[in-house]
Amino acid sequence: MLKILTVPNPILLQKSRPISAADINSEKIQKLISEMTVTMIKKDGVGLAAPQIGESIRLIIIQHQDGPIAMINPKIIKKSLIKEWGEEGCLSLPDMYGEVKRCKKITVKYINNKGKEKQIIGQGLLARVIQHENDHLDGALFIDKARKVVNIKDL
C-alpha cells in the first residue's frame, strides 16, 4: 500500500504535469495505477489522485459502480450550470470535513489504463468525486472551496 501525503506537503499544492502517450503503457505507470487502486480501496476512499501519493502527474483513480477507473490526463469538458453543496473529506486531510459547492453533472474526457480515449458523464456523487480529484491535479484542496470546515478531533 502506498503512503498518502498529508497537508502541509508542498506536492499537494503543485499543478501536475500530463502523462505522455508513450508513458501510459510503461511498467511504472501501470504499476502506479494498480498500487493507487489498492491503496484507495484499503483506505476506504472513493477517489485518489497521484499527487496524494507523491507523484505530480495527471492521474486519478475513481471508485465507480462498475469498479475502479483510472483516468489519465482527465479534462472536464462540460459542466452543468446547476451546482449543489455536499460534504467532502480527503485522505490528505484526515479528520477534516466541509461542505463544497460543485456542479451536479459533468462530462470528462480521459485516457484509460489501456491508452484509449474515453468519455464519461458523471452525476451526483460521481461528479463530485471527479471534480474533487481533478482539483488535486491543479494543486487545489477541498478546504480551499469549503464552508463549515470541521475537524472531528475538535468535536
pLDDT at 153: 83
Sole residue written with cell 508513450:
22
* Backbone phi, psi, residue 3, to 5°: -85, 130
Asked if the structure places residue 5 within a domain, the reply is no
Asked if the structure places residue 87 within a domain, the reply is yes
Asked if the structure places residue 3 within a domain, the reply is no
Clarify whether 133 is annotated catalytic.
yes
Examine the pLDDT at 98 and tell me if it is beyond 80.
Answer: yes
Catalytic pick from 27, 87, 117, 133? Answer: 133
pLDDT at 17: 98
Asked if the structure places residue 119 within a domain, the reply is yes
Asked if the structure places residue 29 within a domain, the reply is yes
- The domain tally of the chain equals 1
Asked if the structure places residue 43 within a domain, the reply is yes
pLDDT at 75: 98
Q: Please name the residues in contact with 13: beta carbons below 8 A apart, sequence gap of 6 or more.
A: 139, 141
pLDDT at 152: 85
Q: By residue range, what is the domain housing residue 45? A: 10-154
Q: Which band of pLDDT confidence, cut at 50, 70 and 90, is reported for residue 155?
A: confident
CATH assignment of the domain containing 57: 3.90.45.10
Asked if the structure places residue 76 within a domain, the reply is yes
